[in-house]
Amino acid sequence: FTWKQGSIERVKSWYLYRSEADGGPYEPFLIIEYTGEDGPQYSSTVNMPVPVGEKKTYYFVLVTTTDQNVTSADSNQVSVTIDKRIPAPVYNFRLKVKAE
């Protein structure tokens, strides 16, 4: 996953939630936090085990935390790219995975 910060300023953390069903329930999947003078991390590599030969579709919601409030990100604020090839809206997107 690779994030581009866009118009959100002073983001303190990303909370990415994943579900195997459209509309949830969602479970915490990836949390990225940073403090102090460290710059924000815009990318992270994660593993999603899928049995060989099977296909799965995952649904995601991304929530960002700033020093002022917590907001659900929208595509005007943050964008996400999967494998740097497939752009998707960040607040509600799906990822199809096939294990080979």
Q: At residue 59, does pLDDT exceed 60?
A: yes
Mean pLDDT, residues 16-44? 69
pLDDT number for residue 32: 72
Q: At residue 51, does pLDDT exceed 70?
A: yes
Residue 39, C-beta contacts closer than 8 angstroms, at least 6 positions apart: none
pLDDT band at residue 18 using 50, 70 and 90 as cut-offs: confident
Enumerate the domain spans of the chain.
2-98
- For 63-96, letters b (16+ CB in 10 Å) and e give ebbeeeeeeebeeebbbbebeeeeebebbebebe
